[in-house]
Amino acid sequence: MLSIILLSVSGLANLFLGFNRSNRLILPFVLLVLAAVLGVTVSGIDTHGALAVWNQSPYFTGMLTFDRYAQVFTGVMVLTTLLLLPFSQKYVRDGNANLAEYYSILLFSLVGGIMMVSYNNLLIFFLGVETLSIAMYVLAGSDKSNLRSNEAALKYFLMGSFTTGILLFGIALLYGATGTFDLAQMGNAVRAIPAADAGLRPMMHIGLLLMLIGVGFKISAAPFHFWTPDVYEGTPTLFTGYMSTVVKTAGVAGFFKLLFVAFGGETIEFWLPTLTAMLVLTLFIGNVGAVAQTNAKRMLAYSSISHAGYLLLALVALQSGRLSVNAIFFYSLAYSVATVAAFAVLKLVHDQRERDDYDGLNGLARTNPLLAFVMTVAMLSLAGIPLTGGFFGKFYLFSAAAQEGHIGLVIFAVVMSAVGIFYYLRPIMAMYMKPAAEGSDAPVFVGGFQSAVLVLLVALTVLLGVWPGVVEGMF
Amino acid sequence: MAEQAPLAVFAGSPLLYILIPLLPFLGFLINGLLNRRLSGTVAGLIGSATVLGSFLISLTLFLRFLGNPVPYTVHLFEWINVGSLRIPFSYQIDQLSLIMLLLVTGVGFLIHVYSIGYMHHDANVGKFFSFLNLFVFSMLVLVLGSNYVILFIGWEGVGLCSYLLIGFWNKNHNYNNAAKKAFIINRIGDLGFLLGIFLIYFTFDTVQYGEVFQKASQLQVGAGVVTAITLLLFVGAMGKSAQLPLYTWLPDAMAGPTPVSALIHAATMVTAGIYMVLRSNVLYTLAPDTLNVVAWIGALTALFAATIGLAQNDIKKVLAYSTVSQLGYMFLALGVMGYSSSLFHVLTHAFFKALMFLGAGSVIHAMSNEQDIRRMGGLRKALPITFLTFLIGCIAISGIPPFSGFFSKDEILAHAYEHNKVLWGIGLLTAFLTAFYMFRLLFLTFFGEFRGTEEQKHHLHESPASMTLPLIILAVLAAIGGFMNAPLVLGRGYLADFLAPLFTYSRQINPEAFGGEIDHATEYMLIGLSVAAGVLGIVLAYVLYVAKRTRPVEEEAQRGAFEKLVYHKYYVDELYDALFVKPSMFLSRTLHDFVEKRVVDGAVTGVGRGVMGSSQLLRNLQTGKVETYLLLMVLGIVVVLALNFIRL
Amino acid sequence: MDQTIPEVIRTIPLQYYVFFATALFAIGVLGVLTRRNAIIIFMCVELMLNAVNILLAAFSAYRADPNGQVFVFFIMAVAAAEVAVGLGIIVMIYRNVQNTDVNLLDRLKW
C-alpha cells in the first residue's frame, strides 16, 4: 500500500516541479522515488511465509491485498521502470516542455500496474487495467507532431477502449452469475453452480471467456494481438519498452491470479481449451511473424507477442502451483531486464541516428562495442540461450508445463523458440557484420550513468542465467 | 550393485574440484579484461598455465581414483530449488568424467601451447586465448556436471565458444556465414536435446544422472518413452557431433583458426555427443530401436563423409570430412553397444586428429596461409618434423598396427561384425577409403615437386618449438596410445576393464546384447582384413600420387574432366583410372555438390524459407487499418464463443 | 405505489434486461465495425459501456446487492477519463491531418 501512496503523491509532486520548469530535477527525483518504492517493496517481502497467501493485509475491506505475490510482482515492475528511465535523458537535454507530465503519467500508470497484481476484487482489477491503459494511450501519442506516434495512440486507444467494453461485459456477466466481484467468493460461487443449470452456467462461461479475451488483448495474445506491432512501432521507443515489460508483467500476473483463485481446480475446463488454443496461435504468430520484419522495434513487438505465448504456458499449467508462479516471476524478471536492455540500446541509437530498422544498427560493434554487446546479450536472453536469464525463464515455464503433462505444448513451444533464433540473430548480424552507412558512423552518445546501467543490465541477465537460485525463495 | 554407487557423496573439501573449471575461467577473465594490455605471449602463457593447472589437478584425482575406484558426486551448492524441481550443482566423478577431464585438459593444454606460436602474428591474441579458455571451462562443466541441465549448460557454452572462434576473423564475410550456420544447425540439434531433458524430467521426475538411471533400470527393454527420450537426445548429439544430416556446419567451421579446428572441431567439443550417449548408456541400452538408428546413422555418416573426403583439395576440409567420418565410426560403435570401444576411439582420435590438424596448421603457417594442396608438394624437406609427425598421424588413422588407430578401429569393427555384417562391411570400406584419402593428402602435400609460388617457396620454414613440441608429444601418443586397450588376443584391455563399472546397469538390463567374446580365429581374420583394407588404400594412394604423379584437376577443368572420359580413348593403365578412380571422384564430387549442397543444406534452408514465407503471409494480415483489426478481433471473439458452445 | 427503484426494476423479468443489454452491446460492436469516423466509433464504444451499466444495475437490483451499482459509478468515472484522453488524441490527430477518418492513418503496418 505504501508503494501506491508513494507513487501517487510523488506523481503529483512531480507535476509541480514541471510548473517550475525545473527539468533538471525531474529525472533524479523520479529515480529517487522509484528507488524508494523498490526498497519499501522488497524489504516488505516476507520470504518465510507459505506460498502467497491471497488474503494478507487486506485494504478497503479486502479489495486490495499486499501479499507476497503482489509485492514480488510490484518489485519486478518498479525495478524495470527504474532501469528504463535513465535512458530518457535526451528528453531532459532537449528541454521537452511536457517532461514532468510524462514522468507523472508513468508513475500513475505504475500504480495501475500494482493494482493489477494486488487486487482481490474485479473492481480493483478493472481500475488497475484502466489506470494503466489510459496512461499508455497518452504516452503512445506523446510525440505529438509525429504522425506515427499519433497513429499508434489512435489505434491503441480505439482497440483498447473497445476491449474494455468486452472485458466489462464479461465482468458483468460473471457478476450476474455469481453475485460477487470478490475473487475468492466468486470461486466458491462458480463451484456452487449446478452443472445442469441452463441459465447461470452459460452466463458464467461466456463471461469468463469475454474476460479471457479482454485480458488477452492487454497482454497481446493472438488473435487479439493486432494492435501490438503497429502501436509498438509508432510509440516513442522509451514507452514501447515500458509497454512491453511493465504492462505485460502486470497483465500476466493479474491474469494468473484471476484464473488461479477464482477458476482453478475443477472449473479449469471452462477456459483451458480456449487458452490453449490462444497459446498455440500466439506462439505461432509471434515467432513466425517476427521473421520477416526489418524494423527492430516491430520485431520486438512480435517477439513480445511470442513471449506472451510462453507466459501463457504457466497459466495453462497453473495446477502446478508454486512451479508455475515461480516460472511467471522468473520469466517476467528475465524478460523485462533483457527487453529494457534492448530498448535502451534502440533508444540511444534512435536518439542519434533517427532510425530503428536493422540497418540503423549497422556497424555498432565498431562505433560502440558496449552497446553492441549489451544488445547481443539481450537478444540471446530473449532467444533463451543458456547462460542468460531467458534460458532459465523458458526452462521453468516448460518444466511447469511438462509437469502438468502438456508435453505437446512444450514440444511446440520449443520448436517455436528455435524459430526465434532466426530473428534474434539479425540485429546481432547487423551490428557485427555490416559496416555503418556513410555519415552515420559516428559513435552513439552514451552518458556515464547510462553506461553503468547498461552494464548492470547485462550483469543481471548473466547472473540470472548462471545462478537462477539468486532470486529463489520469493515463491 | 555396490560397485555401481553413483549416489555416494564426496565428503571432503571440494576446493580441488572447484578449481578444475575455475582455473580456465580465471584465464578467460584475465585475458578477456586485459585484452589489449597484455602482450600476445603473456596472454598465451596465462591461458596455457591455467589449463595445465586443471590438467595436473585432474591427473591427481585420476590417480587417487585408481587407488579406490568408487564413483561419487561432489555436491557444490543448491542451484535450483523450486517446488518439485530440484537441481543441485554437483559434479559426477567417475571413470568417464575423469577420462574426459584428462583428455580435455591434456590435449587442450598442448593446443594452447601450440597457439602461442601459431597466433603470435595476430592482433587479438588476448581475445583468442580468452575464448579458448572459456571453451575449456565450458567443456569441463559439460563433462563434470552430474545432471542433464548442467550438461546442457556446458553444451551450449561450448557451442557459443565454437561460434565465437569460428567467426574469430570476422572481417571475412564467409567466415561469418560459417559461424552463423554452425550456430543455427546446432540449435536445431539442441532443440531435440532440450525436449529430451523435459521428457526425462516428466518421466523420472529428476534430471540427476544417478537417480534417472536407477529409476530407468526398472523399466522394460524397448519401453516407448525411453525410445523417445533417447531419440531426442540423439538429435542433440547429431547436431553437436556432426552426423547426417546435421553435419554440414563442421566442414564450414574450418574457417576458424587452425588450433580451434584441432581443439574444438576435432578433439573435444564434437565428441560431446558421444560423451552424452555414453553417459546415458543405461537409457540407450533400454532402447534397442534407437541403438539401431544410431548405428546406421553412424555407419552411413562414416561412409558418406569419407567419400566426400576423396576429392577435397583444401587441407583442412579433408581433415574436417575425415573428422565427420571418424565421428560416424564412434556412433557406429555406440549403436552396436561397443561403449568402451567408442570412448577408446574418442581418445585415439583426439590424439591423431589433433596432431594432424596442428600439422596442417604448421603447413599453412609455413605456406603463408595457403590451404590448397594443389599448391603444395615436396614439403617434407622443408618441414621434417611436421612431415614425420603428420605421417604418424596418417598411419594411425589408417589403422596400421601397432599405431593407436589400429586398436580402436579394430575393436569397433569387431563389435560391428558381431552385430550386423552389413554395418561391418560399411566400416571396412570406410577404413579403406580413409587410408586412401589420408595418404593422398600426405603425398600431395609432402611428396613430389613444390607447386606453389616462388615467394611461398622462399618463405618455407619449420615452425617454432612451441608448435613442434605439441606435435611431437601428440605423435608419441598417437603412436603408442593404442596399447591402453590392446585387443584380447594380444593382451588385456586395460581401458575396457577400467570402464566396465560404468556399464553395470546396461549389462544387467540386456546381457546378451553385450555379446560374448569372439573366438580367436575370427578375431585374427577381422584384424587381417582391416589391416589389409588400410594397406590397400595406402598402396593405391602411393601408386596414383607418387608413382604416377596424378594431380587433382583444377576447378576450371572440372567439367571438362568428365567429357574427356567420353571422347578420349584410354590406354590400358588409364582404363583402371577410368573404371575406378574417376567414377569414385565423380561420385565424391556429386555427393558433395548435390547431396550435401542441395539435399542436406537445401533441407535446412528450405525450412528457413518456409518460415520466411509464412511470415510474409502473416504480414498481410497486418494491414495497418484499424477497421480490419477490429473486424478480425470480433471474428476471433465469435470463433472463441462458437467453439465453446457449438456442442452445447 | 410506494415501490423502491429496485422493486420497479424487478417488475421486468431479468432475461429481458440481459437481452436488451446484449442487443445494445451488439449495436455498439456493429457500430464500431462499420463506422470510419473516430468520434463515432468512440461513441459506439460508449454505447457498449452503457449496455454494461444497464446489465450491472439490473443484476444488482435482482440480487439486492449494492456492489453492482458501485461498479457502475466507477465505469462512468473511467469512461469520462477515457473520453478526455480519447478526444485529446482525436484533436491532436485532427490538428495534424485535418481529418478524423480512422483509415487515413495506416502508415504502420506489416
Higher confidence at residue A22 or residue B5? A22
Q: Are residues B308 and B407 in the same domain?
A: yes
B76: helix, strand or coil: strand
Q: Which residue on chain A is closest to B618 by alpha carbon?
A: A289
Give the model's pLDDT for residue B511. 74
**Which helix H or strand E contains B93, and what residues bound it?**
strand B85-93
Chain B residues within 8 A of C109 when measuring between CB atoms = 622-625
Cβ of residue C55 closer than 8 Å to a chain A Cβ: yes
Cell of C60: 444488482
Q: What is the mean pLDDT of residues A462-472?
A: 83
DSSP B459-479: H--PPPHHHHHHHHHHHHHHH
pLDDT digits (tens, 9 = 90+) for A178-198: 989 998 889 889 888 887 777
Cβ of residue B67 closer than 8 Å to a chain C Cβ: no
Give the integer Cα–Cα distance in Å for B421 and B483: 27
Chain C residues within 8 A of A173 when measuring between CB atoms = 55
Cβ of residue A475 closer than 8 Å to a chain B Cβ: yes
Q: How many domains does chain B have?
A: 2
Cβ of residue A198 closer than 8 Å to a chain C Cβ: no
State the smallest CA–CA distance between residue B617 and chain A in angstroms: 9
CB A106 within 8 A of CB A135: yes
Give the model's pLDDT for residue A415. 86
Give the model's pLDDT for residue B555. 47
Q: How many domains does chain A have?
A: 1
Give the model's pLDDT for residue B559. 42
Tallying the residues shown for chain B, one arrives at: 648
Question: Between chains, do B648 and A202 touch, taking CB under 8 Å as contact?
Answer: yes
The parent domain of residue A462 ranges over 2-471
Chain C residues within 8 A of A233 when measuring between CB atoms = 108
Q: What is the mean pLDDT of residues C61-76?
A: 92
Higher confidence at residue C57 or residue B510? C57
DSSP H helical segments within B34-172, as ranges? 40-67, 95-118, 125-144, 148-166
Give the integer Cα–Cα distance in Å for B319 and A136: 59
State the smallest CA–CA distance between residue B624 and chain C in angstroms: 4
Q: Name subunits touching B (3+ CB pairs < 8 A).
A: A, C
State the smallest CA–CA distance between residue C75 and chain B in angstroms: 22
**Average pLDDT of chain A?**
88
Nearest by CB to residue A433, choosing from B176, B199, B628, is B176
Cell of B571: 590406354
CB B350 within 8 A of CB B267: yes
Nearest by CB to residue A134, choosing from C41, C71, C85, is C85
Identify the top-confidence range among A156-165, A401-410, A420-429.
A156-165
What values do phi and psi take at A357, rounded to 5? Answer: -90, 175
Question: Between chains, do B633 and A469 touch, taking CB under 8 Å as contact?
Answer: no
Question: Between chains, do B634 and C29 touch, taking CB under 8 Å as contact?
Answer: yes
**Average pLDDT of chain C?**
90
Higher confidence at residue A10 or residue B33? A10
State the smallest CA–CA distance between residue B111 and chain A in angstroms: 26
Q: Which residue on chain A is closest to C100 by alpha carbon?
A: A154
Chain A residues within 8 A of C49 when measuring between CB atoms = 164-165, 168
Select the residue from A144, A162, A294 to test the C interface by mutation, using most C Cβ atoms within 10 A. A162
Final residue belonging to a domain, choices B492, B511, B539? B539
Give the model's pLDDT for residue B584. 66
Cell of B15: 576446493
> Residue C50 pLDDT > 90, yes or no?
yes
Chain B residues within 8 A of A420 when measuring between CB atoms = none
Give the model's pLDDT for residue C80. 94
Question: Between chains, do B622 and A230 touch, taking CB under 8 Å as contact?
Answer: yes
Give the integer Cα–Cα distance in Å for A367 and C7: 75
Chain A residues within 8 A of B641 when measuring between CB atoms = 206, 209
Is the dihedral angle over the CA atoms B289, B291, B295, B297 positive or is it negative? positive
Q: Are residues B22 and B117 in the same domain?
A: yes
State the smallest CA–CA distance between residue A411 and chain B in angstroms: 7
Chain B stretch 71-90, residues whose beta carbon is closer than 8 A to a beta carbon of chain A: 77-85
Give the integer Cα–Cα distance in Å for B398 and B348: 12
Examine residue B322 and state whether it is found in any structural domain, yes or no.
Answer: yes
- Please enumerate in sequence order all residues whose Cβ is within 8 A of that of A66, keeping only pairs 6 or more positions apart, or say none: A1, A44, A56, A57, A59, A118
Q: Name subunits touching C (3+ CB pairs < 8 A).
A: A, B
Cβ of residue A183 closer than 8 Å to a chain C Cβ: no
Cβ-in-10-Å burial (0-12, 13-18, 19+) of A288 comes to: buried
Taking Cα atoms as reference points, which of A214, A234, A211, A209 lies closest to residue A224?
A: A214
Cβ of residue C90 closer than 8 Å to a chain B Cβ: no
Cβ of residue C96 closer than 8 Å to a chain A Cβ: yes
Q: Are residues B167 and B267 in the same domain?
A: yes
Give the model's pLDDT for residue A56. 56
Give the model's pLDDT for residue A21. 67
Give the model's pLDDT for residue A287. 92
Nearest by CB to residue B191, choosing from A320, A414, A467, is A414
Q: Nearest 5°: CA angle at B416, between B413 and B421? A: 110
Chain A residues within 8 A of B177 when measuring between CB atoms = none
Question: Between chains, do B641 and A292 touch, taking CB under 8 Å as contact?
Answer: no
Nearest by CB to residue B622, choosing from C29, C36, C109, is C109
Chain C residues within 8 A of B625 when measuring between CB atoms = 102-103, 106, 109
Chain A residues within 8 A of B198 when measuring between CB atoms = 398-399, 402, 407, 410, 414
Chain A residues within 8 A of B644 when measuring between CB atoms = 205, 209, 273-274
pLDDT over 70, % of chain A: 96
Cβ of residue B615 closer than 8 Å to a chain C Cβ: no
Taking Cα atoms as reference points, which of A271, A250, A339 lies closest to residue A69?
A: A250
pLDDT band at A459 (very low <50, low <70, confident <90, very high): very high
User: For chains A and C, what is the number of CB pairs under 8 angstroms?
Assistant: 122
The residue with cell 494503466 is A132
Select the residue from A150, A171, A211, A240 to test the C interface by mutation, using most C Cβ atoms within 10 A. A150
Give the integer Cα–Cα distance in Å for A183 and A69: 15
Chain A stretch 31-90, residues whose beta carbon is closer than 8 A to a beta carbon of chain B: none
Amino acid in the structure at residue B586 = F
Give the model's pLDDT for residue A122. 93
**Interface predicted TM-score (ipTM):** 0.95
Give the model's pLDDT for residue B366. 82
pLDDT band at A303 (very low <50, low <70, confident <90, very high): very high
Chain C residues within 8 A of A134 when measuring between CB atoms = 78, 81-82, 85
Question: Between chains, do C86 and A173 touch, taking CB under 8 Å as contact?
Answer: no
Nearest by CB to residue A181, choosing from C18, C71, C106, is C71
Chain B residues within 8 A of C108 when measuring between CB atoms = 624
pLDDT digits (tens, 9 = 90+) for A249-264: 999 999 999 999 888 8
Report the largest interatomic distance among the alpha carbons of chain C, rounded to a whole angstrom.
Answer: 63
CATH 1.10.287.3510 fits C5-102, yes or no: yes
The residue with cell 591434456 is B106
Question: Between chains, do A159 and B633 touch, taking CB under 8 Å as contact?
Answer: yes
Give the model's pLDDT for residue A24. 78
Low-confidence ranges of chain B (pLDDT < 70): 1-12, 35, 83, 170-179, 486-493, 512-518, 550-585, 588, 595-598, 600, 604, 647-648
Q: What is the mean pLDDT of residues A202-213?
A: 92
Question: Between chains, do C33 and B630 touch, taking CB under 8 Å as contact?
Answer: yes
Give the model's pLDDT for residue A227. 92
Final residue belonging to a domain, choices B539, B556, B581? B539
The parent domain of residue B631 ranges over 620-645
Cβ of residue A176 closer than 8 Å to a chain C Cβ: yes
Amino acid in the structure at residue A228 = T
Cβ of residue B607 closer than 8 Å to a chain A Cβ: no
State the smallest CA–CA distance between residue A228 and chain B in angstroms: 10
Select the residue from A151, A211, A357 to test the C interface by mutation, using most C Cβ atoms within 10 A. A151
Q: Which residue on chain B is closest to C107 by alpha carbon?
A: B624
Chain A residues within 8 A of B77 when measuring between CB atoms = 469
